[in-house]
A and B are shown apart, each in its own frame.
Chain A
Amino acid sequence: MITVTDLRKSFGNVEALKGISFTIRPGEFYGLLGPNGAGKSTTIGIMSTLVTPDRGGVVIDGIDLAKNPMLCKQVIGVVPQEIALYNDLSAVDNLLFWGSLYGVKKDVLKQRIDSTLKLFGLFDRRNDKVKTYSGGMKRRINIASALLHEPKILFMDEPTVGIDPQSRNLIFEVVEKLHKDGMTIVYTTHYMEEAERFCDRIGIIDNGTIVAQGTLDELKAQGGDKESLVIAGNGITEEKVAKLKSAGYTVSVHEEKLIFTSASLKTDMPKMIMACNENAIDIEHIDIRRVNLETVFLSLTGKQLRD
């Protein structure tokens, strides 16, 4: 459905993309994960025709994006991170405007607007101005406006940032329904649980390159299937961390917490706690993290996803 080949893009002296390639299959839910500045927005920008690459190409639904961007735009829907709506217009007027840009006939558009508003639970508020909506409601309309021309591919750039649980759950339900109906979805998020819940495959991008790609299980394997022991306490210093490292432990500090990683936490955990005691680290809280996308991400990029 989407083939990205050797994509390169620089902004001045900054090389945002260093030749990334990946393929997304029809009907697939593909997650694009990476810390801020990793290059995922540039990748989405190129795939959604907003940014012109320096080199490389993108083929969307068999259409060469460089040769026929307008045709590509017809088959994609984009949900930007910003809530891009006209606050002084009602939900219906907003949707009529955004839908009409794609050439959808007015009567068809009106039917789709009604069904979409029902889907997002906003039909009763359809004639209210968007400025009277909560953040979550606006996010729902923001997504709805990208669906009216029934795109084959949907790009969603962090669609659940800063919203209430009710709206988030509603968006999850809609996203799952769209996926079930066969829509190809490219999803960027900072929330690991979202990526784990929805994505068939995940591409981890860092410093303008794809560092790992595959299903969640494949990524866990690539990350070494390591578990983490997170220790919160007093007396954590750089000197002591260096001592622990020299003693052979894989350890790092994040948000003033010690993070030990191990292939077998069951065996290594008592030793880790002993080492802390020997180094006068006063343990207040212990948390065991099983292998998940977050630990994989940390292991592959050396960064937390929210960095």
Chain B
Amino acid sequence: MFTIALKDIKLFFSDRRGLLMAFAVPVALITLFAFAFGGAGGSNSGPTATTLVIADLDNSGRSKILVDSLDALEEFEVLTTTADTAELMVRKGDRAAVLFIAPGFQDSINSGGAPVFELKFDSGEAPRVAILQGALYGRLNQFVGMQKADAIMNSRSAMPHTGTSDSTAGDSLLKDVMPPVSLAKEAERNLIMNQTALVQEKQNSPGLVHAVAGTAIMMLLFSVTAMGTAMLDEKQEGTLKKLLFSPINPSSILFGKMISVNVISIMQLSIMFIYGWLVFGLDIAHHIPSLFIMIFCTAYACSSFGVFLVSFAKSRAQVQGMSTLVIMTMSALGGSMVPSFIMPAFMQKLGVITVNYWGVQGFYDIFWRDLPMTDTTFLMRPLVLICIGTVLNLIAVRLFKRNVLSLV
């Protein structure tokens, strides 16, 4: 019994792929998800600064003080811009929400009125918006209260003497401006926060788009790798050698494989989106041309990745071990598993190097952000996918000649 157990343990440790799957892949994924969900650094780690985009339409002394005060806080990193640019940032998905300081902000404070703010947001990014709104509301309320007090003090010092004591006059003025009401009501009166959804709720919920696009891309990466691995099987079974006996260029073998993987990838992605349409009502009918562009480019980039991975390896076992780790990592970073905005900033930045990121964002542009096909933000996604695919293909051709053909 123990001899059998010992033999099995020995066999397990002699299998590199098994070890990789048992230890390295889970460790890598735990690391990724720990970072993604904020587990890194323990409880002492400070809050991560959120970039807060502000369009200051009042452009007054007090509004500038507000911007500086917010920027000085740990939780915000303030970026000021024009109203148009700020709106565009939300529409194109660069930011979940932007804060507008309405004209008359300074006057409202000086007169004891409630200054008006406007939060313009992408309703598809509700969790992010809610977090931002929560943090922002308290800070703004605090600031406005202090500014109002400051304005009262200034106006008091400018008032003619009435014969009453200083404290009595001040108290009466404070009571006029800030009557004793409950704290919540006081906050409500201190400021007015209007909310405008620039990107509206619609048939294609972001969750649905994410579920379809994210999953489809991740699974496509697995299947293209499996398809590519067939090339290594051909080497092992002798059909690759037999192909080389025939009057075709060795590169044609790889290109032929690339074409077949591309065609199957396009079919696979198309079926995933058709399924999303038939079962979950994903509105693909209004986005056919841009959807086709994204499907084509995503399939191209994913296929290239599969062929690249196979050309890189020398055996099927190598590919299988490597592909699981690489694809899971890419999918986690690129937003296939969980939306990328949940992750810390550095992981979001890392995600940019993955096929998943550009694919998922492109499909978001189509189904959620409703960007037209000619929009530069949208066009950048397929363009980057084509570039990634082409670079991977070029490397794959070189590696294929070195690693696969030389070993026939």
Contacts and interface: CB of A to CB of B under 8 A. Distances in A.
B247 interface: yes
B242 interface: yes
A102 B242 CA distance: 12
A101 B408 contact: no
A50 B238 CA distance: 13
A194 interface: no
Contact of B247 (A74, A82, A84, A85): A74
Contacts of A103: 247
Nearest to A49: B245
A83 B238 contact: yes
Contacts of A70: 247
A73 interface: yes
Nearest to A100: B246
A86 interface: yes
Nearest to B245: A78
Interface string B239-258: 10111111110000000000
Interface string B16-51: 000000000000000000000000000000000000
Contacts of A85: 239
A19 interface: no
B237 interface: yes
B237 A84 contact: yes
B246 A73 contact: yes
A101 B243 CA distance: 8
A121 interface: no
Contacts of B248: 101
A80 B246 contact: no
Contacts of B247: 70-71, 73-74, 101-103
Dominant SS at the A interface?
loop
Nearest to B408: A50
Interface string B383-408: 00000000000000000000000001
Interface string A48-79: 11100000000000000000001101101010
Contacts of B239: 84-86
A115 B247 CA distance: 23
A85 B242 CA distance: 9
Contacts of A82: 237-238, 241
Nearest to B249: A70
Interface residues of A, number: 20
A133 interface: no
A102 B248 CA distance: 8
Contacts of A102: 246-247
A249 interface: no
Contacts of A101: 243, 246-248
Interface in B246-295: 246-248
Contacts of A48: 245
Nearest to B240: A84
B246 A50 contact: no
Interface string B130-141: 000000000000
A250 B244 CA distance: 47
A138 to B, nearest CB: 11
A123 interface: no
Contacts of B408: 50
B50 to A, nearest CB: 54
A122 B216 CA distance: 43
A50 B243 contact: no
Nearest to B238: A82
A98 interface: yes
A228 B1 CA distance: 54
A73 B238 contact: no
B241 A84 contact: yes
Contacts of A76: 245
A50 B237 contact: no
A80 B245 contact: yes
Contacts of B243: 101
A54 to B, nearest CB: 15
A84 B238 contact: yes
A228 B245 CA distance: 42
Interface string B60-79: 00000000000000000000
A225 B240 CA distance: 44
A98 B408 CA distance: 18
Contacts of B244: 49-50
B237 A73 contact: no
22 contacts: A50-B241, A50-B244, A50-B245, A71-B247, A73-B245, A73-B247, A76-B245, A80-B242, A80-B245, A82-B237, A82-B241, A84-B237, A84-B239, A84-B242, A85-B239, A86-B239, A98-B242, A101-B246, A101-B248, A102-B246, A102-B247, A103-B247
Given A49-B245, A50-B241, A78-B242, 8 more contacts: A48-B245, A49-B244, A73-B247, A82-B237, A82-B241, A85-B239, A101-B246, A102-B247
The 7 tightest CB contacts between A and B, nearest first, are: A82-B238, A84-B238, A84-B242, A73-B247, A101-B246, A78-B245, A84-B239
Interface of A: 48-50, 70-71, 73-74, 76, 78, 80, 82-86, 98, 101-103, 145
